């Protein structure tokens, strides 16, 4: 059911009904609003309508009333009424409302009989009590311009209830209500607009408060300036920082206690923002507040444009980075100090450099004292003015600080506790001064702030660093913390330096000791050489003499000697020969250790053949079967290697002398790392339990009577092989022969002999009987 006008309101109708004193049921089409009012007589309806018009005009909150009624109608019984209306009116309603669109009055004597309502059947079906609508009257409500804005419906259970008089009254009523409705709607609309405006205003104010709250809650300094660089806004942080009110700041172009240089730079930046329309950023902008201390800000100033794109204001945001800058400066200073400390191990020079690095970035004065054997020694005093340094030296000379002073460097060194005096009061100077002249000198130094920290290392006080500020320079806890860090590093470096000096001294002592030891070793070696030289000459001479004179005696006294005498002479002779052999072996052995190795390729095959040839005289009365396999060419000292081969083969021959079928085999095997050569015999062999003794000097596993020998041969062989970086070892079973192995590392120059040279494959073994 679509209605062009939207009349609201039940109590509008109520009033209208009351005013018209209609005795009929009155219904409105909006949602089937319906009510009955029984009020007798409608004679003076016109007057009442006139009163109603005034009443409606006077009703300021008509809209509110209408809205309330509409809401009531909609929320509580709208649906019910609607249903009832539908039930009462049935499909007629559509036809009736349609009639308003045509601006016409619809009147029916009896809806049940009226074809336009077409609801006879429905109506008739209702019980008589429910047949509430028989007469029907509906007419449009028009606004001032005659347009339909709503409608009025009257109904009555009686037939023919609305006559011409009622119709006129209803028309008069509609004529009054129509414009009221319209003006009421307009009023309501303007009320709505007003409400919206008020709402907008409220939300604007809220937004304003919100932003102010936000801006005042941050720690950054936020401010605005106009084109003439006057402050137009400053947040709470800004006011707090400068210690002035928003009102005091507003309109000024600079803060009076700021340094003029700083202000000029700010204004130059401001102008650039307006000129360029671009933000200007200062990473470390200095600033002074009321207390005169300089702080640093990271400031960004950005333009604020008006609707035409013109920069009319700027907004500045300044973040206090003083702590950050100090931390960075501390780091920088500490890094510089660390570099200085790492430069040299000469701690006096180093500490003097550290003191120099502190001036003037950290302090105007820096002095370093060290504790040496219980006394305090000043290593460095630094000030940019040499005159002042001289003054300080003079002061220290004339009025040396007593070791038991309650404050100052001696106290710091004594207690290991730092001292911080942010601002030295003059009374302190007066108290410290020994006399008038002293006081004058101290005052001349212009001391202001003072810090003294102990240089500690592993809990020991090594000295102290003092920092003094002049003029406006004061110190705080942070400066103290920095100074302590500085002192820790200096202390560690100082300790290192002292330790280094100690180590250096120890090293020098050690070097001296090594030199002495080396000298004595050289001496011992020389003595040893001279000993072996002596053995070579002097020990051999008497042996020769014994041997020689025995022979001479035999020539001379042979006829006079009996068999026993001859036996004695033979024994002496043999003993001297054996002694000579021992000495020769020992000498050869000792020579091996000293002689230079002269390595060159040596054909082992040739070498073995040559040695076998040499041994022929010793085997001529025996049967020895030689088997010589494929042997490599090795890189070695030929003379020494010959000694080894000769020793091994001589041994093989010697220890097979009791065999009728002596067999001696020489063969080899090579891998990529080494050559292994072995000499295998079927002789007396030895017990493996004693294998470790085989290669010792003068170590023998057989008695001299069993097998003659000096016990030098294998020791010599081992020494030679060791010097060639090889190994020598043996395996044996007593009475079943022994095998001696020699390994030599492969080297680039070592090559295997050409196998073709020794014949066809499989014929590498040659056999030689002797």
Partner 1 sequence: MTETGKILLVEDSEQDVELTLGALGQHNLANEVVVVRDGEQALDYLYCRGNFSGRSTGNPVVVLLDIKLPKVDGLEVLQQLRNDDALKRMPVVMLTSSREERDIVRSYNLGVNAYVVKPVEFQSFVEAIRELGLFWAVLNQPPPLAQ
Footprint of partner 1 on residues 496-535 (CB under 8 A)? 533
Q: What separation in angstroms does the CA of 605 have from each of 39, 207, 629, 763, 765?
A: 155, 110, 8, 14, 11
Strand partners, 221: 318
Name the one range near partner 1 by CB under 8 A: 170-178, 275-283, 349-357, 546-554: 546-554
Q: Is residue 710 close enough to count as binding partner 1 by CB under 8 A?
A: no
Nearer to partner 1 by Cβ, of 135 and 576: the residue is 576
Residue 234 neighbours by CB distance under 10 Å: 26
Question: Which position among 110, 584, 630, 669 is part of the footprint of partner 1 (CB under 8 A)?
Answer: 584
Q: How far is Cα 714 from Cα 695, in angstroms, rounded to an integer?
A: 5
Q: Is residue 758 close enough to count as binding partner 1 by CB under 8 A?
A: no
Q: Is residue 3 close enough to count as binding partner 1 by CB under 8 A?
A: no
Q: Is residue 575 close enough to count as binding partner 1 by CB under 8 A?
A: no
Share in percent of the chain as helix, strand, coil (round to 5): 50, 20, 25
Nearer to partner 1 by Cβ, of 537 and 620: the residue is 537
Name the one range near partner 1 by CB under 8 A: 45-53, 202-210, 333-341, 541-549: 541-549
Q: How far is Cα 294 from Cα 440, in angstroms, rounded to an integer?
A: 31
Footprint of partner 1 on residues 150-169 (CB under 8 A)? none
Q: Is residue 549 close enough to count as binding partner 1 by CB under 8 A?
A: yes
Q: Is residue 545 close enough to count as binding partner 1 by CB under 8 A?
A: yes
Exposure string of 335-356, with b = 16+ CB inside 10 Å and e = fewer, is eebbebbeeebebeebbbbbbe
Footprint of partner 1 on residues 387-426 (CB under 8 A)? none
Nearer to partner 1 by Cβ, of 58 and 555: the residue is 555
Nearer to partner 1 by Cβ, of 196 and 591: the residue is 591
Q: Smallest distance from the beta carbon of 570 to partner 1, in angstroms? A: 13
Question: Which position among 458, 537, 673, 767 is part of the footprint of partner 1 (CB under 8 A)?
Answer: 537
**Element (DSSP H or E) covering residue 496:** helix 477-534
Nearer to partner 1 by Cβ, of 418 and 638: the residue is 638
* 489, 337 contact by CB (below 8 A): yes
Q: Smallest distance from the beta carbon of 637 to partner 1, in angstroms? A: 14
Q: Is residue 543 close enough to count as binding partner 1 by CB under 8 A?
A: yes
Footprint of partner 1 on residues 591-650 (CB under 8 A)? 591, 595
- Cβ neighbours for 342, distance < 8 A, ≥ 6 positions apart: 493
Nearer to partner 1 by Cβ, of 308 and 537: the residue is 537
- Cβ neighbours for 614, distance < 8 A, ≥ 6 positions apart: 646
Question: Which position among 416, 580, 629, 745 is part of the footprint of partner 1 (CB under 8 A)?
Answer: 580
Identify the three-state secondary structure at position 42.
coil
Nearer to partner 1 by Cβ, of 499 and 552: the residue is 552
Q: Smallest distance from the beta carbon of 677 to partner 1, in angstroms? A: 27
**In degrees, to the nearest 5, what angle opens at C-alpha 261 toward C-alphas 288 and 222?**
50
Q: Smallest distance from the beta carbon of 714 to partner 1, in angstroms? A: 21
Q: How far is Cα 433 from Cα 665, in angstroms, rounded to an integer?
A: 106
Question: Which position among 400, 548, 593, 734 is part of the footprint of partner 1 (CB under 8 A)?
Answer: 548
Residue 717-746 contact track with partner 1, rule CB under 8 A, x = bound: ------------------------------
Q: Is 668 exposed, middle or buried (0-12, 13-18, 19+ CB in 10 A)?
A: buried
Question: Which position among 183, 338, 407, 536 is part of the footprint of partner 1 (CB under 8 A)?
Answer: 536
Q: Is 697 exposed, middle or buried (0-12, 13-18, 19+ CB in 10 A)?
A: middle
Checking 4-8 for CB contacts under 8 A at 24+ apart, the result is 4/100, 4/101, 4/148, 4/149, 5/141, 5/148, 5/149, 5/150, 5/151, 5/181, 6/30, 6/150, 6/185, 7/141, 7/149, 7/150, 7/151, 7/181, 8/66, 8/67, 8/69, 8/70
* 274, 311 contact by CB (below 8 A): yes
Token output for 79 = 């649906």
Q: Smallest distance from the beta carbon of 532 to partner 1, in angstroms? A: 8
Question: Which position among 340, 550, 608, 644 is part of the footprint of partner 1 (CB under 8 A)?
Answer: 550
Nearer to partner 1 by Cβ, of 110 and 584: the residue is 584
Question: Which position among 228, 434, 544, 692 is part of the footprint of partner 1 (CB under 8 A)?
Answer: 544
Question: Which position among 587, 688, 697, 751 is part of the footprint of partner 1 (CB under 8 A)?
Answer: 587
* 645, 607 contact by CB (below 8 A): yes
- What are the start-end ranges of the E strands in 59-147? 106-108, 135-142
Residues that bind partner 1 (CB under 8 A): 533, 536-538, 540-545, 547-552, 576-577, 580, 584, 587, 591, 595
């Amino acid at each position: 059911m679509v209605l062009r006008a939207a009349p609201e309101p039940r109590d509008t109708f109520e009033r209208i009904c009351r005013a018209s004193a209609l005795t009929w049921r009155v219904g409105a089409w909006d949602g089937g609003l319906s009510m009955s009012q029984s009020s007798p007589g409608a004679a003076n309806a016109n007057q009442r309508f006139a009163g109603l018009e005034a009443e409606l005009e006077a009703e300021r909150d008509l809209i509110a009333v209408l809205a309330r009624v509409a809401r009531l109608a909609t929320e509580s019984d709208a649906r019910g009424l609607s249903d009832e209306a539908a039930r009462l009116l049935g499909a007629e309603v559509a036809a009736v409302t349609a009639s308003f669109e045509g601006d016409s009055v619809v009147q029916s004597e009896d809806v049940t009989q009226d074809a336009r309502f077409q609801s006879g059947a429905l109506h008739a079906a209702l019980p008589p009590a429910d047949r509430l609508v028989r007469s029907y009257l509906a007419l449009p409500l028009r606004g001032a311009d005659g347009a339909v804005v709503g409608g009025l419906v009257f109904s009555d259970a009686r037939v023919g209830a609305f006559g011409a008089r009622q119709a006129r009254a209803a028309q008069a009523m509609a004529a009054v209500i129509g414009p009221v409705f319209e003006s009421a709607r307009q009023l309501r609309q303007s009320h709505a607009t007003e409400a919206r405006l008020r709402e907008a205003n409220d939300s604007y104010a809220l937004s304003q408060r919100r932003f102010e709250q936000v801006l005042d809650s941050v720690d950054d300094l936020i401010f605005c300036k106009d084109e003439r660089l006057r402050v137009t806004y400053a947040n709470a942080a800004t006011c707090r920082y400068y210690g002035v009110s928003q009102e005091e700041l507003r309109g000024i172009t600079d803060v009076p206690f700021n340094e003029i240089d700083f202000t000029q730079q700010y204004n130059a930046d401001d102008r650039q923002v307006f000129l360029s329309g671009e933000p200007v950023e200062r990473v470390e902008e200095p600033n002074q507040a009321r207390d005169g201390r300089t702080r640093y800000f990271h400031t960004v100033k950005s333009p604020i444009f008006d609707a035409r794109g013109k920069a009319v204001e700027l907004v500045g945001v300044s973040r206090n980075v003083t702590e950050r800058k100090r931390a960075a400066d501390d780091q920088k200073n500490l890094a510089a100090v660390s570099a200085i400390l790492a430069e040299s191990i000469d701690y006096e020079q180093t500490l003097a450099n550290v003191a120099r690095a502190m001036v003037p970035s950290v302090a105007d004065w820096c002095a370093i004292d060290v504790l040496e054997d219980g006394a305090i020694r000043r290593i460095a005093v630094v000030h940019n003015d040499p005159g002042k340094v001289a003054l300080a030296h003079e002061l220290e000379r004339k009025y040396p600080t007593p070791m038991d002073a309650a404050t100052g460097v001696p106290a710091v060194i004594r207690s290991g506790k730092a001292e911080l005096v942010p601002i030295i009061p003059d009374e302190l100077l007066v108290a410290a001064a020994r006399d008038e002249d002293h006081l004058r000198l101290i005052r001349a130094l212009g001391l202001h702030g003072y810090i003294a920290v102990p240089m500690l290392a592993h809990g020991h006080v090594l000295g102290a660093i003092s920092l003094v500020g002049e003029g406006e320079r004061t110190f705080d806890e942070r400066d103290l913390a920095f100074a302590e860090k500085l002192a820790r590093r200096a202390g560690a470096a100082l300790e290192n330096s002292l330790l280094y000096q100690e180590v250096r001294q120890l090293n020098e002592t050690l070097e001296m000791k090594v030199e002495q030891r080396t000298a004595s070793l050289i001496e011992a070696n020389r003595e040893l050489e001279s000993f072996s030289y002596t053995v070579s000459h002097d020990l051999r001479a008497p042996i020769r003499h014994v041997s020689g004179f025995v022979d001479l005696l035999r020539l001379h006294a042979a006829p006079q000697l009996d068999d026993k005498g001859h036996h004695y002479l033979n024994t002496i002779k043999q003993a001297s020969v054996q002694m000579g052999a021992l000495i020769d072996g020992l000498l050869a052995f000792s020579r091996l250790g000293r002689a230079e190795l002269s390595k060159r390729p040596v054909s082992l095959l040739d070498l073995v053949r040559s040695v076998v040839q040499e041994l022929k005289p010793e085997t001529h009365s025996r049967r020895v079967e030689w088997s010589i396999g494929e042997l490599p060419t090795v890189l070695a000292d030929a003379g020494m290697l010959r000694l080894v081969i000769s020793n091994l083969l001589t041994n093989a021959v010697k220890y097979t002398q009791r065999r009728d079928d002596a067999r001696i085999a020489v063969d080899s095997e090579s891998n990529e790392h080494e050559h292994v050569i072995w000499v295998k015999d079927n002789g007396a062999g030895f017990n493996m339990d004693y294998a470790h003794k085989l290669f010792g000097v003068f170590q023998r596993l057989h008695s001299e009577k069993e097998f003659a020998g000096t016990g030098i041969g294998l020791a010599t062989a081992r020494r030679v092989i060791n010097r060639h970086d090889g190994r020598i070892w043996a395996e044996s079973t007593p009475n079943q022969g022994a095998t001696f192995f020699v390994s030599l590392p492969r080297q680039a120059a070592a090559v295997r002999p050409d196998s073709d040279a020794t014949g066809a494959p499989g014929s590498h073994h040659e056999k030689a009987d002797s």
